[in-house]
Structure 1
Amino acid sequence: MISAILLGVIALMLVGLFALTATNQALRRIHREDTAKFSITIHHHYYYRWIHQKLFTGHDFDTIYFIVVCSQGVARFLYVFLMMMFLQQTKIFPFNGEDISSVGIWLWTVLYYFLFIFLYIVLGELIPRSFGAHKPRTAIKILSPISSFFMILFFPISYPLLMIYRAFTHATISEDLSEPQMQVKQELIEMIQEADTGAVLDPMDKELIESVMTFRNRIAREIMVPRVDIFSLPGKTTIRDAAQQLEKEGFSRIPVYKNSVDEVMGILMYKDILIKYMEFAKNPDRPEILDTPIETIVKKTMYTPETKRISHLLQEFRKKQLHLAIVVDEYGGTEGIVTIEDILEEIVGEIVDEYDEDIELFTPLTSGVWLLDARMSILDIEEELEIKIPQEADYDTVGGYIYHRTGTIPTRGFVIDHDDFKIEVMKSNERGVEKVKITSKIFEEPSE
């Protein structure tokens, strides 16, 4: 008689586990997909809600989900505990003092254990998890009476645990459910790469989507024109001389500095020089118009730290209606410049106009071997050559990686051997490394 009662209670706990596990998964999915409709869904299908409304205010998801999780844990414990009691009552539990030498007793014990574990895994975990994840609203609608019953039944245990949890943490339970941002992005990128989109998305569309997904993680230092490559002019330069140099270099706007590049006073726009030339054309008897220092016509500029996210920088460009920013380091010195075009190129790819010169940062030599400009960024190497070079906060280019590894400026012939690649310095001077040869070990033929 006792065994039959225990078996019935075990079956009841298994039913509760099914309902609570499915509800757990359903609540997670509904909350993630449509937070605004969460309360409506719960209130329409849960008669447990009258307890919830009496004792709690706000945080519907947090409190209800916590009660579901606690009830699920209690149901698991009771299922295992009652299973042990049942095995002992039926005289086949091997530690109840009986003779355990009989092969039959051991066989029946193993079979009962297997049966209970099998039922728990299938009916208490796998099926309800799948049901709740794939059909969350259906699961709540069908199983809400059962899960409500167990949530009320175990509420005397769940409520004190909830109070303890709230006393020791300020985080909401929903925050614990959020997947790490980078993990989610990486999964989405992998889905896009593996998707057989055919006529829907071409390779360029996929690249655009991937660029948008990684856009928010990029910082100004990764896309800026470095200090050594900045073309700038001192503020005392005349408009006449500046026009000649701008025409030669082909820039539409450049930084203007006072004593050094670390003291940028503003941005000179080619349009303003044209205005002055138009003014001179109307007044040819006034040569002083073109002899005026360019510091008198520069426009204001903006400064940004090298660690600023380019997504935020783009918004600032739009807000201030500017196209160029000076990137500064922690001491206020000029590290480089970044333009709105540099930021947009991170999304749509390289933007080339009629006057841009095609600069090759890498040249293929043989299969798996390339000659690189040491200024080529590690991210571009990974994207173009499919070689992953370790990256840290101190550097962004292959040259920076070499300096980080060696602690010096290596001479021609210096080799860095990595598990996945080999880098050989091909050209360097006293100021830095200029050219390197990189060999991917993935392409290397196995030695005989």
Structure 2
Amino acid sequence: MSAALGLLAVIVLTAATGYFVAQEFAYVAADRAALEQAAARGDASARRAAKVIGRLSFMLSGAQLGITMTTLVVGFIAKPALAGLIQPLLDAAGIPEGATGAIALAAGFVLATLIQMLLGELFPKNLALARAESLARALASSTLVYLTVAGPLIRLFDRAATRLLRTVGVEPVEELHSGATLEELGDIIGKSQSSGHLPADLSGLLDRALSFGDLTADEVMVPRPQVSTLPSTAPAADLVALIRETGHSAYPVYDGEVDDVIGVAGVREVADDALDPATPVGRIARPALLVPGSQPLYGVIERMRESGEEFACVVDEYGGLAGILTFEDVAEELVGEIADETDAREDAPTTGPDGSWLVDAGMRIDEVVRLTGLDLPEGDAYDTLGGLVMAELRRLPCPGDRLTVALDGASGHGEPDGASGHAELEVVSVARRVAEKIRIRTAAAPAPADRPEISDPPCAAPRPEEASWTR
């Protein structure tokens, strides 16, 4: 073969290698959903491209076969062809005749490698990644023809590779996974926000939506100590007074003990003008929707929809009343705190002058993480910030208790300036024997807990401290 003909063969084969490389990367990087949508609208090129992606594993095998064959042939032809072009130049330069052959072959190898890497590998790869969808459309027709013609050979190699995999205990996968896990979606949302492609508010909404499926009724409910209840023997006038006092629309009704919930009564039941104020609440109460605290939140929503009830009573593992759950509580898990005219006025969450946060002890750990960016440790024994403090103290808290906890790591929302691997928790006020307000500060290093010993006398009745802001 003449040097000129060999050079032409190298150019053609390098272009063929580039074709298969572009084919491989274009169909892997192309947006399958976008192509399928375009195909549904009648786009012929998108339909062909989607057909190729539908056989992605087979196409990749075909592309690898094409790359391997063209690369091997280029390696066989390129060195002698390029050496034949270089040797006359070496002879003209006066290099000894015995050395020109070896130098020409070495130079031919280097040139062939450069040509193959730049034009046959890197250029088509980068082009395919930059223009994946348009290139997938452009290559679709020729790719389908190639897969049809080379199909028997591709299947032969595929079957051989499958048998080799199975002999070493690996089950081959025919198609690439095209979906994303919840963790992967969370990473995508976080990176999109960091890069400025997603507004912070929308990112927070999507983040809460992703974690929604992990929530259970007892994590979202209003706990029993914060729930107003009525005995079944109370007159309807007491129910009206309770509605006026608290502003809520429904209340659990119990018979004998609070744990024995027999129904729910509220605005709906007292709306009748003919109702005698002396009528016992138990006679007008509607049946209560009872759900276990361990039930996933989406399951509770389904039961509320089926029953037409917007109010559910959450029952613990012992059959007692653990708390209540409303549609507003569910909505707040997606959009954040919802305040209406019946809610107490609270300042917007802000950091204090010293960079600390003052938060409700009843706030869930994941909510505190979202608010502060500090990845406080979670545990099976508690759900709230107050529960974390009590678990660390191993006793009931007292105002002024301080302890340092190690952070689990970056929260995914970025730690505040100056944040370290620890946080200091200070009990500011106590109500009903549990922490009411807790101040959070970043801490440079663990410090001994500044608190009374378990054997010390009980805390004195605490004075509530006005918070600079609350939940």
Work out whether the TM-score is over 0.5: yes
Residues 1:177 and 2:178 are matched in the alignment: yes
SS of the aligned residue for 2:264 comes to strand
Q: Which amino acid aligns with 1:416?
A: T
Q: TM-score, normalised by structure 2?
A: 0.68
CA contact (8 A) 1:22 1:129 kept: yes
CA distance in 1, matches of 2:52, 2:182: 21
1:8-407 matched pairs, under 5 angstroms: 10-11=13-14, 14-22=17-25, 24-25=27-28, 29-31=31-33, 34=36, 37=39, 45=48, 64-78=55-69, 81-82=72-73, 109=109, 112-133=112-133, 136-141=136-141, 144-146=144-146, 149-151=149-151, 153-158=153-158, 173=175, 176-188=177-189, 190-191=191-192, 195=196, 207=201, 210-212=204-206, 214-218=208-212, 219=215, 220-275=217-272, 278-280=274-276, 290-292=278-280, 294-330=281-317, 332-359=319-346, 364-392=351-379, 394-405=381-392, 407=394
Residues 1:414 and 2:410 are matched in the alignment: no
| Greater helix fraction, Structure 1 or Structure 2 | 1
Deviation (angstroms), 1:338: 1.3
Deviation (angstroms), 1:272: 1.3
Identity across matched positions, percent: 19
CA distance in 2, matches of 1:406, 1:104: 80
Change (3 A) 1:234 1:86: farther
Report the counterpart of residue 436 of structure 1 in structure 2.
Answer: 438
Unaligned runs of at least 5 residues, structure 2 = 84-98, 407-419, 445-471
Q: Which amino acid aligns with 1:187?
A: I
Deviations, residues 214-247 of structure 1 (Å, cap 9, x unaligned): 3252223443212221222233333343433343
CA distance in 1, matches of 2:192, 2:386: 33
CA distance in 1, matches of 2:266, 2:105: 93
Q: State which drifts further: 161-170 or 418-427.
A: 161-170
CA distance in 1, matches of 2:129, 2:206: 33
Q: Which amino acid aligns with 1:14?
A: T
Deviations, residues 287-332 of structure 1 (Å, cap 9, x unaligned): xx6153x222211222334455545544443332211112334554
CA distance in 2, matches of 1:233, 1:273: 14
Q: Which amino acid aligns with 1:249?
A: T
CA distance in 1, matches of 2:361, 2:375: 15
CA distance in 1, matches of 2:52, 2:230: 60
Q: Which amino acid aligns with 2:244?
A: E
Deviation (angstroms), 1:253: 0.3
CA distance in 2, matches of 1:170, 1:373: 52
Q: TM-score, normalised by structure 1?
A: 0.71
Deviation (angstroms), 1:340: 0.8
Change (3 A) 1:270 1:257: same
CA distance in 1, matches of 2:379, 2:134: 40
Q: Which amino acid aligns with 1:279?
A: L
CA contact (8 A) 2:404 2:443 kept: no
CA contact (8 A) 2:55 2:175 kept: no
Deviation (angstroms), 1:255: 1.1
CA contact (8 A) 1:216 1:310 kept: no
RMSD between aligned residues: 4.6
Deviation (angstroms), 1:105: 7.1
Change (3 A) 1:260 1:150: farther
SS of the aligned residue for 1:20 comes to helix
Deviation (angstroms), 1:67: 0.7
CA distance in 2, matches of 1:172, 1:332: 50
CA distance in 1, matches of 2:159, 2:46: 19
CA distance in 1, matches of 2:47, 2:349: 62
Deviation (angstroms), 1:155: 3.5
CA distance in 2, matches of 1:65, 1:222: 43
SS of the aligned residue for 1:177 comes to coil
Deviation (angstroms), 1:29: 1.8
Deviation (angstroms), 1:180: 2.2
Report the counterpart of residue 53 of structure 1 in structure 2.
Answer: none
CA contact (8 A) 2:247 2:342 kept: yes
CA distance in 2, matches of 1:106, 1:235: 98
CA distance in 2, matches of 1:257, 1:36: 59
